[in-house]
Amino acid sequence: MTSHRPRKRFGQNFLESESVIRRIVGAIAPERGDRLVEIGPGLGALTGPLLERVDRLDVVELDRDLAGALDERLGRPAGLTIHEADALRFDFAALATDAPLRIVGNLPYNISTPLMFHLLEQADRSGDGIRDMHFMLQKEVVDRICAEPGTKAWGRLGVMTRVRAEATRLFTVPPGAFRPPPKVESAIVRLVPRRLDAGRRASLAALETVVRAAFAQRRKTLRNTLRGLVDEAGFESAGIDPSRRAESLTLADFQRLTEQLSDRSAGA
């Protein structure tokens, strides 16, 4: 079979390191009956080892050449279902009919953030939900997702991810583990979606508004960045000093500020 030339427009970097593959599979620790879904299987480097551990595996691949050749490349294994589709538009909820999904993927860096949030949005509405997600992402993105308040990496991405999921950085992956080698380091992150109640889900848009404004100018105080959104009485009610900067706030702090925004809107 001829080799596949990685396509820049799909952000393709194929994982080839056997030791990294074994480490990823070990971190996922799939069990025979798990409902596993792989995004972007590519040449099947991770697909094959996963299929050895589970009875069935769904894969979602956008590149039609890769999707068309994958079954033959892996020896037409039983239990493999290939979906030729764009993961950003794919209805993952439709697969979660009898068990919670476990999703894994070496995500193209150019779509990793929107795809992650697409999945988090589906986690609550899928029949049995999404149990967990293991993703290979750019290390800088994982740093921001897993950052702690008070650090430079703490920002909008970390807040908006952590309100919807528990995030754990597992390990880093060097560029040499891929073909072609990317120009940056990668890292594996585990996301466990939180089950949000209706009220918390309804507040996400307001939280996004507050967080986006607060981090838009990181050097400025909350009094300046949230002007027009939260007044002095709101800061006092939330118990937050308006002279603080966004990176010093915890997720709980942002949620209290969001309640002030919601209260003002309700009273308007």
* Predicted confidence pLDDT, tens digits, the chain (268 residues): 345 554 444 446 789 999 999 999 999 999 999 999 999 998 999 999 999 999 999 999 998 999 999 999 999 999 999 999 999 999 998 898 888 999 999 887 788 899 999 999 888 665 468 999 999 999 999 999 999 999 999 999 999 999 999 999 999 999 999 988 888 999 999 999 998 888 888 999 999 999 999 999 999 999 999 999 999 999 999 999 999 999 999 999 999 999 998 555 545 4
pLDDT at 123: 81
pLDDT at 126: 52
What single DSSP character describes residue 62? -
What CATH number has the domain spanning 8-195? 3.40.50.150
Q: What angle do CA 189, 36, 6 make, to 5 degrees?
A: 65
pLDDT at 109: 79
8-195 and 200-267 have identical folds: no
pLDDT at 223: 97
d(CA 119, CA 55): 23
pLDDT at 3: 54
- The domains of the chain are located at 8-195, 200-267
pLDDT at 227: 94
d(CA 157, CA 162): 8
Would you call 155 exposed, middle or buried from its count of C-beta atoms within 10 A (0-12, 13-18, 19+)?
Answer: middle
Given 1.10.8.100, 2.40.50.140, 1.20.1050.10, 2.40.170.20, which CATH number is that of 200-267?
1.10.8.100
Q: What angle do CA 119, 124, 128 make, to 5 degrees?
A: 100
CB 216 within 8 A of CB 236: no
d(CA 193, CA 198): 15
d(CA 190, CA 193): 10
